[in-house]
Amino acid sequence: MATGRTHRPATRSRGIPEATVARLPLYLRALTALSERSVPTVSSEELATAAGVNSAKLRKDFSYLGSYGTRGVGYDVEYLVYQISRELGLTQDWPVAIVGIGNLGAALANYGGFASRGFRVAALIDADPAMAGTPVAGIAVQHTDDLDRIISENGVSIGVITTPPGAAQQVCDRLVAAGVTSILNFAPTVLSVPEGVDVRKVDLSIELQILAFHEQRKAGEDTTAEDEGAPPMRATPTGRKGPDGDMPAVMPA
């Protein structure tokens, strides 16, 4: 922290670790809840518990913001809410476009949690001509033909892709060409984008597969180490389990 009191508190901005950035929204959520209950201050310990993280980690995270806690007291809730919001860029509102208004796209469009955090659904775009004009969540769906114009006119820089996987890369290219520089991709596809464009993906299948892996491991360790009479340890799906154990399988020639 270097004793010298540089009058600029926060601006260590350049260099907030990615892992920290990913946790800021978590802190913000917990702080917002406290703020609504009019709690004036929190200790790192309390807040860490609420956010589900280690308190030392939380303090270190805040130290990157140059944040002002008060030793012996804790952090000022309102002040932190503002600081984190600012750091995340949530003092502005971000117009977002959703492309591919099917099951998932429609669900997202209807989701209220967007607006409450500074994001505004500015446009819904779909390739199906039949959908053009149809209102979803109170917003008329527009056709892909106008994608470029829609993005430009609304100043959209964040795009959400909820099209089928086959269309994702193409849609992505068009979004980027139109000026979008951040993409949230729900299609199970690896998108390639030019430098300077951020892509984050949400993949339900991957999450489930990771869970399945651990689930299987739990089951396996039961049968290996512990006795089988362990009470509440299922983890053997669908009943079938029997003669399937190792299977040398296909093996290449």
Ligand X SMILES: NC(=O)c1ccc[n+]([C@@H]2O[C@H](COP(=O)([O-])OP(=O)(O)OC[C@H]3O[C@@H](n4cnc5c(N)ncnc54)[C@H](O)[C@@H]3O)[C@@H](O)[C@H]2O)c1
Judged by CB under 8 A, the chain residues 205 through 234 that form the site for its own copies are: 205-218, 220, 232-234
Query: Which residues in the 135-174 window bind ligand X by CB under 6 A?
Result: 144, 162-165, 167, 170-171
The Cα-based distances of 1 to 4, 64, 76, 154, 195 in angstroms read 8, 10, 20, 43, 34
Query: Which residues in the 104-133 window bind ligand X by CB under 6 A?
Result: 104-105, 107-108, 111, 113, 125-128
Residue 115 interacts with its own copies (CB under 8 A): yes or no: no
Residue 138 interacts with its own copies (CB under 8 A): yes or no: no
Residue 49 interacts with DNA (CB under 7 A): yes or no: no
CA dihedral 154, 160, 161, 162 (to 10 degrees): -110
Q: What are phi and psi of 180, to 5 degrees?
A: -70, 135
Applying CB under 7 A, which part among 70-78, 147-155, 166-174, 180-188 lies near DNA? 70-78
- Tell me, what amino acid is at 142? Q
- Distance between alpha carbon 240 and the CA centroid of its chain, in Å? 36
Cα(170)–Cα(189) distance, integer angstroms: 11
C-beta nearest to ligand X: residue: 102
Residue 72 interacts with its own copies (CB under 8 A): yes or no: no
The end-to-end CA distance of the chain, in Å, is 62
Q: Which does 72 bind (CB under 5 to 8 A by kind): ligand X, its own copies, DNA, none?
A: DNA
Those residues with Cβ within 8 angstroms of residue 245's Cβ, 6 or more apart along the chain or in another chain: none
Residue 25 interacts with DNA (CB under 7 A): yes or no: no
Residue 243 interacts with its own copies (CB under 8 A): yes or no: no
Applying CB under 6 A, the site for ligand X has a residue count of 27
Using the minimum distance from each CB to ligand X, give the nearer residue, 107 or 210: 107
Longest dimension (CA), the chain: 71
Strand 74-76 with 41-42, pairing: antiparallel
Q: Which does 74 bind (CB under 5 to 8 A by kind): DNA, ligand X, its own copies, none?
A: DNA
Q: How many CB atoms lie within 10 A of CB 69?
A: 18
Strands (E), 17-155: 41-42, 69-70, 74-76, 94-99, 119-126, 135-136, 139-143
118 by DSSP, 3-state: which? Answer: coil
Applying CB under 7 A, the site for DNA has a residue count of 29
| Contact (Cβ atoms closer than 8 angstroms) between residue 113 and residue 107 | no
Using the minimum distance from each CB to its own copies, give the nearer residue, 127 or 176: 176
- Using the rule CB under 8 A, which residue among 28, 99, 125, 136 binds its own copies? 28
Tell me which residues touch ligand X (CB under 6 A). 99-105, 107-108, 111, 113, 125-128, 144, 162-165, 167, 170-171, 186-188, 204
Residues that bind DNA (CB under 7 A): 1-3, 17-20, 42-45, 53-57, 59-60, 62-63, 67-75
